[in-house]
Amino acid sequence: MGGTYTESSGSQTTSYAVEWNLSKGTTLTGISAATVDGAACTFKLDGTYSTTNYEITGSYQPLHGCKGDSGSFTIKQKCTYPPGEYARPQNGPKPC
């Protein structure tokens, strides 16, 4: 699964392209790419999905560019499919 997310810090906003793979159970691995301060960067992602509070918590380490830029994160589910759409609640994300 993948997509984009935006991070804001002060007056700087950065958009990341993200690709996650479910490796086993609720364990996720992935990669992210962005341009940070004019430099192309890619990051290795490791995370865990909580089926209780619908969050991904994890860490990131640089693979290319952005040397030393590593840390942790929490991503909270913001929304789900509107009622009546193709995804069924029992098969997709839980309501927010």
Residue boundaries of the structural domains of the chain:
2-76
Token pair belonging to 78: 């913001």
CA dihedral angle for residue 39, residue 40, residue 46, residue 50, rounded to 10 degrees: 80
Give the residue with greater pLDDT, 59 vs 83.
59
Please name which of 16, 15, 93 lies closest in space to residue 55, comparing C-alpha atoms.
93
Is the whole model's pTM more than 0.75, yes or no? no
pLDDT tens for residues 50-79? 888 888 899 999 999 888 888 998 888 765
Please name which of 67, 10, 1 lies closest in space to residue 31, comparing C-alpha atoms.
1
Phi and psi of 84, rounded to 5°? 90, -5
Beta bridge partners of 76: 55
